[in-house]
């Protein structure tokens, strides 16, 4: 468990920019960046008594203390207030 953040605000990443796993970045996908898990690994991320199933499709987060960098769509499932930017979370590999 640790801190999850989100990335991919409009204009932050160009449309269809390739992720580290080679797929185009899409902020509307239920996906996440992870430092070491293989591309394509499926995770269940839990926070605030909510969960979202995501796929690892990028590398990160690159900020100390954060464990996942979710797409905005995935983050909104577990924390509807994306303005917070961070949420305490945990995950398991599916």
Over residues 36-58, the pLDDT tens digits come to 999 999 999 999 999 999 999 99
- Tokens coding 94: 């599916």
Where residue 9 sits, what CATH number does that domain have? 2.40.40.10
Counted domains in the chain = 1
Mean pLDDT throughout 48-75?
96
The reported pLDDT for the residue numbered 86 is 96
Residue 34's pLDDT band (boundaries 50, 70, 90)? very high
Q: Structural domain of residue 44, as residue ranges?
A: 2-93
Mean pLDDT throughout 12-35?
92
**Cross-strand pairs, 86:** 5
β strands within 1-94, DSSP E: 2-7, 31-33, 42-47, 50-58, 66-71, 86-93
């Amino acid at each position: 468990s640790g801190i999850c953040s989100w990335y991919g605000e409009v204009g932050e990443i160009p449309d269809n920019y390739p992720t580290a796993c080679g797929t185009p970045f899409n902020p509307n996908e239920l996906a996440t960046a992870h430092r070491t898990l293989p591309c394509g690994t499926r995770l269940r991320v839990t926070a605030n008594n909510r969960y979202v199933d995501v796929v690892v499709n990028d590398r990160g987060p690159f900020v100390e203390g954060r464990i996942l960098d979710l797409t905005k769509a995935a983050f909104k499932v577990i924390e509807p207030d994306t303005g917070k930017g961070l949420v305490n979370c945990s995950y398991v590999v599916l």
